[in-house]
Structure 1
Amino acid sequence: MATGRTLPHVIVFANEKGGTGKSTTAVHVAIALQARGSRVAAFDLDHRQRTMTRYFENRVATEKRSGRDLPTPRFAAHDGESLPRFSEALEQLSRDMDFLVIDTPGRDDRFGRMAATRADTLVTPMNDSFVDFDLIGQVDPDTYKVTRPSFYAELIWDARKAKAKSDGVAMDWVVLRNRLQHIEARNMRRVSEALGQLAKRVGFRIIPGLGERVIYRELFPKGLTMIDSRDFGDMGLAHVAARQELREMMAALALPEPALPLFA
């Protein structure tokens, strides 16, 4: 019997290499969606680092200390072991939500793979280096031309096929280029060209992400994001630039919500 229940749009942040700004980006996306009026839940699958969970816990603590109302998603963390707990958490977090944001570990992980098969939007953050590019594809060392997709790209390809088979919905795979401004120009161009070649072969979109800015690390202890400008006093140029990066990234993700202002 049909219940008429609408499932949330699932956004999975996945990269088997650490240090790409994956958790920071996932937190900013979740809070940006919450701030614009969407109902958002977040699920942290990295039971070792728990960066997303700690970020939200810091945010809740700041809210209690300051008495301010900070838009915060419903959130939970997985233990990394229990399949029943994984399934139960997914069910509870999906209930009455518009979006479910899932942060996966920066390594090969059973539950991360399972989450990928449920993604409507799968986001793979990467820095502009061939060390990070190697996760999704291999290049000729002399010409820098793409020679073949990587094992990880093949995993995502299989996840997309499984998603399409299970519910008839196509997965949008997005490669998010973080920290662009600190990369040497020639290397950036070569990585960009290789990404373009591989995108045509395996079908992902490429969008700009968040820069390498001290402000993102400074906001973590209070659980604040670039949306919470009223809570960190005077804004410098770095704050303004970071807020613009976030706006552009959210627009490029093209998530299925009305184009409402993210923040004042």
Structure 2
Amino acid sequence: MTTVAQKPHIIVFANEKGGTGKSTTAVHVAIALQARGARVSAMDLDHRQRTLGRYFDNRAETERRTGKDLFIPRHATHDGESLEFFTDTFDALCEGADFMVIDTPGRDDRFARIAAQRADTLVTPMNDSFVDFDLIGQVDPDTYKVTRPSFYAELIWDARKARAKADGSTIDWVVLRNRVQHIEARNMRRVSEALDQLAKRVGFRIIPGLGERVIYRELFPKGLTMLDAREFGEMGLSHVAARQELREMMAALALPERTGDATMPLFA
């Protein structure tokens, strides 16, 4: 009897606007999944900034320097030019993986569009502002009611149609609200209401993401995540809150259980 290998669940982080915490979120999701016992691969499509790839390089250096074992997914960076390179690398990373995490550039990119069509879960991080909202929808300047979807929402709509036509699968589109502020309550409420309107119209889920915290920027040079913070330093109240945010985000993503026995408690 021949056993057919299970296709990995593809998670694509995509947003044509930079500065939304896309790479930081992608890294935390990848490490959280691996800590849960999953076999994880990752691919960075932004060959210019290469934030995801550099994050994992920094992580490997910290592992070498400290002698502590860290979860590091198999990963590669695309060259930004070759379709053959993309296909070969994608296929190689998918082999034997439970999850494939793909980080895309914060700009219009041919390979980001290809990745979006292959996604099982498509995550679009956005900051809590109408500047970021404009990527997916337009609002009336006086009432803040949604007037129409924007170009990116239409792009994802096309990707979903192409995927359904190709293999009958659906793409779970998740808009992830990163860096939510707790001050401008009126603006936050207006953005939230606009997102709810657009979600019903276009068909995406809205979930909480990661807050605006200095700790995330401090962790990058060492390639660490909030899952490693306790082992490498004291846990302040901000760290505890950040770990709770990560826990809630992972639960809200509602990813399939494709893991063996957890290698370590996810939030010990």
Residue 263 of structure 1 corresponds to 267
C-alpha distance in 2 between matches for 1:157 and 1:146: 17
Residue 195 of structure 2 corresponds to 195
Q: Do 2:243 and 2:267's aligned partners in 1 also have CA atoms closer than 8 Å?
A: no
C-alpha distance in 2 between matches for 1:224 and 1:43: 18
Residue 36 of structure 1 corresponds to 36
Instruction: State the identity as a percent.
Output: 80
Is it true that 1:51 corresponds to 2:51 in the alignment? Answer: yes
Q: CA deviation at 1:3?
A: 6.2
Residue 68 of structure 2 corresponds to 68
**How many residues of Structure 1 are paired with residues of Structure 2 in the alignment?**
263
Between 173-182 and 104-113, the greater mean CA deviation after superposition: 173-182
Between 66-75 and 230-239, the greater mean CA deviation after superposition: 230-239
Q: Secondary structure at the match of 1:180?
A: coil
List runs of 5+ in structure 2 lacking aligned partners.
none
C-alpha distance in 1 between matches for 2:121 and 2:220: 25
Q: CA deviation at 1:181?
A: 2.2
Q: CA deviation at 1:232?
A: 2.0
TM-score (norm 2): 0.95
List runs of 5+ in structure 1 lacking aligned partners.
none
C-alpha distance after superposition, 1:214-259 (max 9, x if no partner): 0000000000000013432111011100000000000000000179
Q: Secondary structure at the match of 1:194?
A: helix
C-alpha distance after superposition, 1:27-75 (max 9, x if no partner): 0000000111000000000011100000000000000111111011101
C-alpha distance after superposition, 1:6-44 (max 9, x if no partner): 110000000000000000000000000011100000000
C-alpha distance in 1 between matches for 2:5 and 2:258: 20
Residue 176 of structure 1 corresponds to 176
Residue 167 of structure 1 corresponds to 167
- CA RMSD across the alignment: 1.3
Between 198-207 and 161-170, the greater mean CA deviation after superposition: 161-170
Q: CA deviation at 1:182?
A: 4.9
C-alpha distance in 2 between matches for 1:183 and 1:90: 42
C-alpha distance in 2 between matches for 1:193 and 1:232: 40
Q: Secondary structure at the match of 1:177?
A: strand
Is it true that 1:212 corresponds to 2:216 in the alignment? Answer: no
C-alpha distance in 2 between matches for 1:65 and 1:83: 36
C-alpha distance in 2 between matches for 1:8 and 1:162: 19
Residue 117 of structure 1 corresponds to 117
TM-score (norm 1): 0.97
C-alpha distance in 2 between matches for 1:7 and 1:143: 46
